[in-house]
């Protein structure tokens, strides 16, 4: 568990972020804690904990589900499970993409996965909802829904790239960690 100090701009680019480095290299799950406007106003008590779980049918995402499901039952927790179907928007390819039979199959599978995950998380809390999102950038969609949901924490699996790919491409988890207004939990096995 680490706190987010909040460096910005050139200083963060040159020095890097301790929390980002811990998230990338830690062999265990990492919680990067940020104070939200909800916890500042209410002192953290009185409101339920609002969790956005980003799920993409990968092994790391399954670890995130298992991690949440293993927590003691909490009636004061609200969970929103989201899956992002990525659209290719260059040259308006999204129009053609949405008309393909494969798109509908992916939608059906994603909705079935969301139902299954929501059902698994019923052991944690009865307040579980799910939402299938569409967009060209998964991290941006996750951040937008977390803002709309007024989330206290975003939970997602770590996938990670190696070497130069990590530096050039980044990852959804890294972008979410960098831009989130709330705490971020990156689950590892």
Pick the range with the lowest mean pLDDT from 7-11, 66-70, 105-109, 166-170.
Answer: 166-170
* CA distance to 42, 88, 180, per residue, from 57 (Å): 35, 20, 22
pLDDT at residue 19 tops 70: yes
| pLDDT (tens digit per residue) in 72-85 | 988 899 999 999 99
C-beta of residue 151 within 8 angstroms of C-beta of residue 51: yes
Give the per-residue pLDDT at 42. 47
In this prediction the pTM is 0.84
142 within 8 A of 154, measured Cβ to Cβ: yes
CATH number of 2-187: 3.40.50.12370
- Evaluate if residue 16 carries a pLDDT over 90: no
What's the pLDDT tens digit per position in 143-182?
Answer: 999 999 999 999 998 874 444 444 433 488 888 988 899 9
């Amino acid at each position: 568990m680490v706190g987010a100090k909040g460096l910005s701009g050139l200083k963060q680019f040159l020095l890097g972020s301790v929390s980002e480095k811990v998230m990338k290299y830690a062999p265990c799950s990492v919680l990067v804690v940020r104070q939200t406007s909800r916890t500042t106003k209410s002192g953290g008590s009185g409101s339920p904990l609002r969790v956005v779980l980003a799920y993409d049918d990968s092994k790391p995402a399954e670890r995130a589900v298992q991690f949440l499901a293993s927590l003691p039952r909490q009636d004061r927790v609200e969970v929103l499970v989201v899956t992002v179907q990525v659209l290719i928007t260059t040259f308006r390819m999204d129009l053609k993409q949405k008309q393909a039979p494969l798109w509908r199959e992916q939608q059906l599978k994603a909705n079935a996965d969301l139902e299954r995950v929501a059902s698994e998380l019923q052991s944690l809390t009865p307040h579980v909802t799910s939402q299938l999102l569409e967009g060209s950038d998964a991290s941006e969609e996750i951040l937008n829904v977390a803002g709309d949901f007024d989330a206290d924490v975003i939970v997602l699996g770590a996938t990670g790239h190696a070497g130069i790919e990590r530096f050039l491409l980044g990852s959804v988890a890294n972008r979410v960690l960098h831009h989130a207004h709330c705490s971020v939990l990156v689950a590892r096995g």
